[in-house]
Structure 1
Amino acid sequence: MMRLVASDIDGTILGHDGRISARTVRAFQACADAGVEVVFVTGRPPRWLYPLREQLGHSGTVICSNGAVLWDLAEDRLLSARAIGLEAVLEARRLIKQLCPDALFAAETVAGFHLEPGFIENPTSELLAEFTPAPLHETLTAEDAVVKFLAVTHSGTPDAFLAQVQPVVAHLVETTHSAPRTALLEMSAPGVNKAVTLAAYAASLGIEAADVVAFGDMPNDIEMLRWAGHGYAMASGHPEALTAAGYQAPHFDDDGVAQVIEARLAEEKLGA
């Protein structure tokens, strides 16, 4: 039985053009009409959830920052957060810098975003317009709740950067990536990932893993795809996500999420 649909956003339902297809919008509406709970589980911070509100009309709970933040979209307020300690952030930065001297860093906090000069290559980025780049040790304090620590190198691949860094900082943070081409790593507090927070959220609703259908496409979705009773990796997704998932959804360009939701809703209607 499908009682909860949990979906990643970027590369799963949202394209590079920033759009969610009309078919996908209809599929999620059909879930709501059928009484199926919908929750979005993303690496995005709360301030970047506007596609859900503007294109889907979603106003429920969103799991953000790879599981570190639970956000009430209807009221735009924080429900819970699991932060990385400042000492762990600065030590992870030091270790990564030893491995990769050209690495640059940023920190997503509950209250905002801190980024080092050069972290974003595009000087006209809207992100840079809102936040002033500065060394992290100068702007971060012990009171800042860092929910995601980021490291980027403008050379190499995401997979190679992850393989290099992950073993070295594993005692300090959980490390993953979700960028198809940019060597950008995303780090959370130990034990924090999409699956952990999704499992707790489902349990709060009395829903077991067996009744959860999840969609994702990148390494930061792997734990969620393994945990869900029906974890679907996008055919267009990362090879490791495809290996981890029990099921495969059609390619993003073919509205893969919508196809699966439509088929499962039709099956349950026939079964009923």
Structure 2
Amino acid sequence: MSIKLIAMDMDGTLLDADHVTVPARNVAALRAAADRGVKLALASGRTWSLLTGAAEQLGVLDYALVANGAAVRDIAAGKSIYQRPMPNAQALKIIDFLHAENIPFEVYCDGQNYVRAGDKLLVRENNISSYTAFFESRTCFPEALAPALAGRDVEKFNLFYVAREKRERVEAWVKATGPVEISNGFELNMEFAAGGVSKGAALQALAAHLGLGAEEIMAFGDAGNDLEMLSWAGYSFAMENGTEEARAAARYLAPANVDAGVGQMVERYVLNL
């Protein structure tokens, strides 16, 4: 097996159960792979501001596929090499609608995440407790979102919690605003990005940039926003804790995230331990 790029989802995949810590076994295996010349990429629903903690723990990271693939960031260069944003006018319509529905959400723009200051407590109530302190330390809380995002392209909306009885209506309304990709990283969250955005499309763009084929790429994921990436990569692994859809899309099964499944598979298939 000649793996030249490893792409990893974060929550439920690379990270431990606290959604913050990269298990030591994952760190060691990935650093060893990097020492052999393998490129490393995070592939997350989060934007760059919310990936920096994991990047710091790894200490070796080349690229980040952010916001479900709305952009690909070259870490060393500090800039995006691929972008597929949502038009600002469409994003502003969605912002107004979500505020009217009292649905807690964040907006990703240019690598930073934003939450309206007045919604800080509402978001805290609907966030994962172990992740809250890190989240709030990296988030911008403007008094109003529309002025803060005026004239700027949006990467993604992340809705922390949408009640089951609201989901169908919310999805229909958002689709009526224009081309949009709707996915989820957790059971009751919802994520909106521009039409055509997926981790799979972004991974293919990165592969083309590096001159790599699918057979040279290893990918890990566990949920609905990983399906296109898992379907395309030559060596794709769904985590044992992943959804049935992720398992069906992937070619192989990895141990659970809490058992450092990424590290175990890198040891076996890349490091030949």
TM-score interval for Structure 1 and Structure 2 normalised by the shorter chain: 0.7 to 0.9
Task: Answer whether contact 1:4 1:36 (CA < 8 A) is retained.
Answer: yes
Aligned to 1:89, which of 70, 76, 91?
A: 91
Q: How does 1:29-108 map to 2 (within 5 A)?
A: 29-93=31-95, 101-108=101-108
Q: How does 1:77-226 map to 2 (within 5 A)?
A: 77-93=79-95, 101-110=101-110, 112-116=112-116, 117-118=118-119, 120-122=122-124, 131-141=140-150, 143-153=151-161, 155-156=163-164, 165-166=170-171, 168-170=173-175, 171-180=178-187, 183-226=188-231
Question: Which residue in 1 is equivalent to 2:29?
Answer: 27
CA distance in 2, matches of 1:217, 1:154: 20
Structure 1 pair 121–62 and aligned structure 2 pair: CA distance change class (3 A): closer
Structure 1 pair 239–163 and aligned structure 2 pair: CA distance change class (3 A): farther
User: Which protein has greater RCO, CA pairs closer than 8 Å, 6+ apart?
Assistant: 2
Segments of 4+ moved more than 6 angstroms: 94-98
Q: How many angstroms does 1:226 deviate by? A: 0.6
Q: Which runs of 5+ in 1 are unaligned?
A: none
CA distance in 2, matches of 1:80, 1:95: 29
TM (normalized to structure 1)? 0.82
CA distance in 2, matches of 1:25, 1:128: 25
Question: Which residue in 1 is equivalent to 2:128?
Answer: none
Structure 1 pair 52–75 and aligned structure 2 pair: CA distance change class (3 A): farther
Structure 1 pair 115–265 and aligned structure 2 pair: CA distance change class (3 A): closer
**Residues 88-124 of structure 1: CA distance to partner in whole angstroms, max 9, x if unpaired?**
22344567789xx342443211164333433643288
Q: Which amino acid aligns with 2:152?
A: D
Q: What secondary structure, in the 3-state scheme, does the structure 2 residue paired with 1:214 have?
A: strand
Question: Which residue in 2 is equivalent to 1:258?
Answer: 263
Q: How many angstroms does 1:155 deviate by? A: 3.5
Task: Answer whether contact 1:215 1:231 (CA < 8 A) is retained.
Answer: yes
Q: How many angstroms does 1:87 deviate by? A: 2.2
Q: What secondary structure, in the 3-state scheme, does the structure 2 residue paired with 1:52 have?
A: helix
**Residues 158-201 of structure 1: CA distance to partner in whole angstroms, max 9, x if unpaired?**
xx866654455344311111135xx3211111111111111111
Q: What secondary structure, in the 3-state scheme, does the structure 1 residue paired with 2:270 have?
A: helix
Q: How many angstroms does 1:151 deviate by? A: 3.0
Q: How many angstroms does 1:265 deviate by? A: 2.5
Structure 1 pair 190–74 and aligned structure 2 pair: CA distance change class (3 A): same
**Residues 51-101 of structure 1: CA distance to partner in whole angstroms, max 9, x if unpaired?**
333211124121111111222323543444321112222344567789xx3
CA distance in 1, matches of 2:232, 2:123: 36
Q: What secondary structure, in the 3-state scheme, does the structure 1 residue paired with 2:40 have?
A: strand
Task: Answer whether contact 2:183 2:192 (CA < 8 A) is retained.
Answer: yes
Structure 1 pair 236–128 and aligned structure 2 pair: CA distance change class (3 A): closer
TM (normalized to structure 2)? 0.81
Question: In the comparison of the two structures, how many residue pairs are matched?
Answer: 260
Structure 1 pair 145–232 and aligned structure 2 pair: CA distance change class (3 A): same
